[in-house]
Amino acid sequence: MSVTEEYEGFVPVSVHLAGQRVEGKAWKFAHRRLLQQIEEDKRQFIPLVEARLYRLEGQEAHLTGEFEVLAVNKSGVLAIEPKDTVIPRRET
């Protein structure tokens, strides 16, 4: 499934920062591209769930922490790479 699907759910992403990378899941609303959603959100931080923080040294990535929720400051983001799958929300 693509990140432009019509339902909402969590999108696996890689967020690239200077000297670090965060792997986690960002929330995506239905009928909106992830980039559009991030740009229109006025908050300074991007919340990621099930996040893993890596320190980058050359071609190597070293895991430095795991977090249930991690807020990434938008001003430090160099790139966001969405993965190919949208994980739909659980029905309650």
Q: Is the pLDDT of residue 69 over 90?
A: yes
Give all domains of the chain, ordered by start, each with its CATH number: 9-88 (2.30.30.100)
pLDDT of residue 9: 85
**Which has more pLDDT, 85 or 41?**
41
As a whole number, mean pLDDT of residues 47-68 equals 94
Detail the DSSP E strand segments found in the chain: 9-17, 20-28, 45-57, 60-73, 77-82, 87-88
Which residue would you say has higher pLDDT here, 85 or 62? 62
Q: What pLDDT score does 86 carry?
A: 59
Separation of alpha carbons 21 and 19, rounded Å = 7
Residue 21, pLDDT score: 95
In this prediction, residue 26 carries a pLDDT of: 93
